[in-house]
A and B are shown apart, each in its own frame.
Chain A
Amino acid sequence: MIAAHLPALQVVVPLLAAPLCAILRQGTIAWLIALVANWCAFVISIALVLQVRELGIISYELGGWAPPIGIEYRVDLVNAFVLMVVSGVGAVIIPYARKSIESEIPRAQRGWFYTMYLLCLTGLLGVTITGDAFNIFVFLEISSLSSYVMIAMGRDRRALTASYRYLIMGTIGATFIVIGIGLLWAMTGTLNLNDLADRVPAIEEARPVLAALAFLTVGISLKLALFPLHLWLPNAYAYAPSAASAFLAGTATKVAIYLFFRFFFTVFGGEGFFDSTPLPEIIMVLSIVAMFAPGVVAIFQSNIKRLFAYSSVAQIGFITLGISLASEPGLTGALVHIANHAIMKAGLFMLIGCIVFRLGSMRLEDMAGIGRTMPFTMAGIVVLGLGLLGAPATAGFISKWYLAEAALLQGLWWLVGLILLGSVVSMIYVGRVVEIAYFREPSEKVAGLKEAPLSMLIPGWVLVIATIYFGLDTTWTVGIAQDAAASLLSALY
């Protein structure tokens, strides 16, 4: 019986846990609730992946109303994969969050932090799993509002302005998405994604549909921080509490990318419509710029969290590049990189959080010689950094391999070169961190530091090991992503 209700439970478990946290309010209890709810969600998502592999697409009618009258949850391999990534990253971060939050947020507010965390998780899972266009907007706003609050809880006062700017940009983005959905509805009379996929191809030349595509693209681009709409991201990630940075960096933009997949290939997917618009070219150009410009900016950052936040923008460029190629290896690469980048970036922000926890500073210069006093933390950062630039035997290598293969398949030799060059840029900024941490004399302050507490170090290292593991064994990443990419291209939903 439970098996049939998994799609609903996926979202409802964290949704119910959030108000419970808010009622109890006490930090440790709230943390326990969040832990249990998040792990449940992770288990459910794995079960869903297995179910979809076995039985095909699952449809769940909320309220018992058949779509398109009611709202439907529709799980195929693509969103089951994203669900697994999101809840999995969360499941690792929660044990880490306890110590980190204790040092960053006043006692009275800790319960509320976990409430917000759970709401954000609910929102992200809800966006991913739903089969209804307007429902996407509602859950998108749940996740956005809660992430604004989480960011504003950062200790630095710049967290407030970062949160405000994110709020303005995020709301504009969400409103653009609503306009797009509204135009589609006005042309078809339905909000159900599957229903839209049936009806849109027949009218895809109509101008409102094209305008809807434009509005959706811009709106989603704002949310996923596609260059040049990324301006909100660096400060938001830099000044949020460590646990929130890690969670948002790992998941929030990934869900927005999933929306790209869903709208481009499912709703507008019929018979190569996506290819017939100038969109792939536009996205490709923006992605290539995104791979380099923010990467170069990252090199000159003095704040380590900002450095890796800019690097996120660059990595998102790699993912959208895969989308713009619109071929099976391209989409596989993009999907795999969603997972790999989520793991690597969440891990990086967690380990950086360890340093901030001990050192109390995010300035690179203050970290001189820290590799000697916090060897495990720094070693983890180095491995994840290698993954980021795509070194062999790390997860990052796999995703870039597929992207390069996709480029080759279409005869785009120069693109392969650019992908390699993009990795060189990453190498420079990662190299800079390594140089400061290992080859400089530690200051007195650094010399007196202890290694990070185990409850923070172990979750960080889980992701480090995952980075290496998914670089060697790809059954759970590439294996699923390939089938998912194939189903996207054939517009099966």
Chain B
Amino acid sequence: MMRDTIILRVVVKLLLPAILIFALYVQFHGDYGPGGGFQAGVAAAAAIILYGMIFGIPAAKQVVPPSVVFVMIPLGVLIYAGTGVAGLLLGDNFLDYSPLGSKPVYGQHLGILIVEFGVLVTVSSTMLAIFYAFGGRADEADAAEEARKDGEGGS
């Protein structure tokens, strides 16, 4: 894509950590300010997607390999549902976080944090997976296009 623009590359390198930190902030500050797992997941994925757009999808796939992404998508759901089952095993209803802490309030707070983390995992990895899938298709189409053009030029 835009692999030759130096300014973009430098700016993106500077921006990346900032976006990731912002994602973490949104994630863990979610119970005080606006935000939460979903928004943080989107932000974190956006960082990698930006990286992929500038440096190419293969480079992004080296940072976060697709095999990891494939596992992360279901893992987030498992974390969420697992928290629910934990409450169930500890003697309360499904998704009741109260028994997770020494006092119900702490349990609730802890539960919310874990659950939001599950959301983060699934959302960010899904966004990446979708990006890889669409981006991979685009690259393939480009390659096919170029091959066709080369063929025409040669004849």
Q: How far is the CA of A63 from the CA of B81 in the complex (A)?
A: 12
Instruction: Kindly identify, within residues 1 to 40 of chain A, every residue whose CB is under 8 Å from any CB belonging to chain B.
Output: 5, 8-9, 12, 15-16, 18-20, 22-23, 25
Cβ-neighbour of B81 out of A16, A23, A60 (below 8 A): A16
A62 touching B95, Cβ below 8 Å: yes
Q: How far is the CB of B19 from chain A (nearest CB, A)?
A: 27
Assess the B85–A12 pair: CB atoms within 8 A.
Answer: yes
* Min distance, Cβ B85 to any Cβ of chain A, angstroms: 7
Contact A5 B88 (CB under 8 A): yes
A8 close to B75 (CB less than 8 A): no
Q: Is the CB of A8 within 8 A of B78?
A: no
Across the interface, A63 reaches (CB within 8 A) one of B74, B75, B94, namely B94
Of all chain A residues, the one with the shortest Cβ separation from B73 is A22
Q: B81 to A5, Cβ gap below 8 A? A: no
Complex Cα–Cα for A98 and B92 (A): 37
A62 touches B71 (CB 8 A): no
Question: In the complex, A9→B73 CA distance in Å?
Answer: 22
Q: Which size bracket describes the interface of B in this complex? A: 20 to 34
B77 A63 Cβ-Cβ under 8 A? no
B111-138, CB under 8 A of A: which get 1 and which 0? 0000000000000000000000000000
Indicate if A275 sits at the interface (CB-CB under 8 A): no
A23 — which chain B residues lie within 8 A by C-beta? 71, 74-75, 78
A64 close to B (CB within 8 Å):
yes
**Of the candidates A5, A19, A61, which one forms a contact with B74 in the assembled complex, judged by CB atoms under 8 Å apart?**
A19
Q: Which residues of B contact A64 (CB under 8 A)?
A: 87, 92-93, 95-96, 98
Nearest B residue to A71 by beta-carbon distance? B95
Instruction: Say whether B38 faces chain A, with CB atoms less than 8 Å apart.
Output: no
Q: How far is the CA of A25 from the CA of B96 in the complex (A)?
A: 31
- Chain A CB within 8 A of B97 CB: yes
Q: Once bound together, how far apart are the Cα atoms of A437 and B134, in whole Å?
A: 46
B84 at the interface (CB under 8 A from A): yes
Do residues B73 and A63 form an inter-chain contact, with CB atoms below 8 A?
A: no
Q: How far is the CA of A20 from the CA of B85 in the complex (A)?
A: 15
Residues facing A in B71-109 (CB within 8 A) are: 71, 73-75, 77-78, 81-82, 84-85, 87-88, 92-98
Which residue on B lies nearest to A8, using beta carbons? Answer: B94
Partner of A12 from B70, B74, B84, B96 at Cβ < 8 Å: B84
Interface size class of A (residues with CB under 8 A): 10 to 19
> Which residues of A50-106 are within 8 A (CB) of B?
60-64
How many A-B contacts are there with CB distance less than 8 Å? 54
Closest to A65 in B: B96
Q: How far, in Å, is B97 (CB) from chain A's closest CB? A: 7
Q: Which residues of A contact B81 (CB under 8 A)?
A: 12, 15-16, 19
Given A12-B85, A16-B78: A5 in contact with B73 (beta carbons within 8 A) = no
Least distance between A74 CB and chain B CB atoms (Å): 14
Residues of A within 8 A of B77 (CB): 15, 18-19
How many Å from the CB of A11 to the closest CB on chain B? Answer: 9
Contact check, B93 vs A63: say whether CB atoms are below 8 A apart.
yes
Q: In the assembly, what is the distance between CA of A276 and CA of B82, in Å? A: 47
**Do A63 and B88 have beta carbons less than 8 Å apart?**
no
B71 & A63 in contact (Cβ 8 Å cutoff):
no
B74→A20 contact, CB < 8 A: yes
State whether B75 touches A5 (Cβ < 8 A): no
Given A5-B94, A64-B92, the answer on whether A22 and B74 have CB atoms closer than 8 Å is yes
Instruction: Give complex CA distance A12, B81 in Å.
Output: 8
B76 nearest in chain A by CB position: A19
Could you say which residues of chain A place their CB within 8 Å of the CB of B71?
23
A15 to B80, CA, bound (A): 11
| CB-contacts of A430-473 with B (<8 A) | none
Task: Name the residue on B nearest A4 (C-beta).
Answer: B93
Name, among A9, A15, A19, the residue most crowded by chain B CB atoms within 10 Å (CB to CB): A19
B147 nearest CB across to chain A (Å) = 24
Q: Is the CB of A8 within 8 A of B93?
A: yes
The complex places the Cα of A64 from the Cα of B85 at a distance, in Å, of 13
Least distance between B94 CB and chain A CB atoms (Å): 4
Of B75, B85, B93, B98, the residue contacting A62 (CB under 8 A) is B93
The chain A residue with its CB closest to the CB of B98 is A64
Considering the chains assembled together, what is the distance between the CA atoms of A67 and B148 in angstroms?
63
The reply to whether B97 and A63 form a contact with Cβ atoms under 8 Å apart is yes
Given known A-B contacts A12-B84, A16-B85, A22-B73, A5 and B93 have beta carbons under 8 A apart: yes
User: Chain A: which residue is nearest B88 at the CB level?
Assistant: A5
A18 to chain B: closest CB distance in Å? Answer: 7
Whole-angstrom distance between the alpha carbons of A19 and B122 in the complex?
11
Contact call A63/B95, Cβ cutoff below 8 A: yes
Q: Kindly identify, within residues 4 to 29 of chain B, every residue whose CB is under 8 Å from any CB belonging to chain A.
A: none
The 8 Å CB contact of A61, one of B73, B85, B93, is B93
B interface with A by C-beta (< 8 Å): 70-71, 73-75, 77-78, 81-82, 84-85, 87-88, 92-98
Q: List 19 A-B contacts (CB under 8 A).
A: A5-B88, A5-B94, A9-B94, A12-B84, A15-B81, A16-B82, A19-B73, A20-B74, A20-B78, A22-B74, A23-B71, A23-B78, A60-B93, A62-B95, A63-B93, A63-B95, A63-B97, A64-B95, A115-B74
Q: Please report A residues at the B interface, Cβ cutoff 8 Å.
A: 5, 8-9, 12, 15-16, 18-20, 22-23, 25, 60-64, 115
